[in-house]
Amino acid sequence: MEAVKRVYQDAKPDIVIHLAAKVGGIGANRANPGKFFYDNLMMGVQMMEVGRQVGIEKFVAIGTICAYPKFTPVPFREENLWDGYPEETNAPYGLAKKMLLVQAQAYRQQYGFNAIYLLPVNLYGPGDNFDPESSHVIPALIKKCIDAKRYAQSEIIVWGTGKATREFLYVEDCAEAIVLATEKYNKPDPVNIGAGFSAQGGSAFGGEISIKDLVELIAKLTGFKGEIIWDITKPDGQPRRMLDTSKAEKEFDFKAKTNFEDGLKKTIDWYLITK
């Protein structure tokens, strides 16, 4: 709390976009459920409370797709957010972030505090976390494929069955969505931030892709030609993930622009240059 108060005193913000979080992939979530719950809950709750106390104009809370129920109908719609318990490995993190929505709505009701809540899908792009202990699926796979090539390894091991699906949004598209929402959206209801579909109904901007197809695509883009071994003793996580993004388009004119393969190539190129 002292650090939260100090950042408000030093920065004197008019608007806060709360992006800070303790995050990681399935392995990190399984290893740190208590830490992920406590750290995310406390940093968010305190940031919003002190923001209210000092009278900021607006608080933009960034939630997580992990807040959705495990078996949410696809595509995920905002009204389904409370229809069940999140996927078990992500639940402590997802529920801690979900409490920011409760807090935002309660503070709006009692104090007239302008807080909004956005739900981004899985993100990727240059600058991502490539630490194998805590990275998400795309950076983890890029590192595995490139390391295998560098060290002449004939195979990579991937968690799960490959059947689970995910939607991915390029980091610069997400940043644009957050800025647009900050400028234009002032309502209590949560809003999904995702890739959406291409006009042809495919997944040019991300959309829904199986982990199996994702691994094969990253192997192709990195030039890894070895064997892919599936460790089915490890969890898949949530069975499917894909967002209905119509509200974001309607409320603040957001549509993803980055083609998925182009975004992956930019991410791979960044990794090759910096790592």
Among the ranges given (124-128, 129-133, 225-229), the one the predictor scored with the smallest mean pLDDT: 129-133
pLDDT at 202: 45
Q: Which of residues 196 and 77 earns the better pLDDT score?
A: 77
Question: Could you tell me the pLDDT band of residue 237, with boundaries at 50, 70 and 90?
Answer: confident
Tokens 């192997």 sit at which residue? 219
pLDDT at 239 exceeding the cut of 80 = yes
pLDDT at 197 exceeding the cut of 60 = no
**Residue positions annotated with a catalytic role:** 93
Question: Could you tell me the pLDDT band of residue 204, with boundaries at 50, 70 and 90?
Answer: low
Asked if residues 177 and 196 have their Cβ atoms less than 8 Å apart, the reply is no
Between 3.40.50.720, 3.90.320.10, 3.30.420.40, 3.40.50.300, what CATH number should domain 2-274 receive?
Answer: 3.40.50.720
**pLDDT tens digits along 258-272:** 999 999 999 999 999
Reported as half-sphere exposure (CB side, CA atoms, 13 A), residue 264 has a value of: 22
Average pLDDT over residues 77-86: 97
* Rounded Cα gap, residues 155 and 133, in angstroms: 19
CA 192 to chain CA centroid, nearest Å:
11
Phi then psi for 128, rounded to 5 degrees? -65, 170
Average pLDDT over residues 27-49: 96
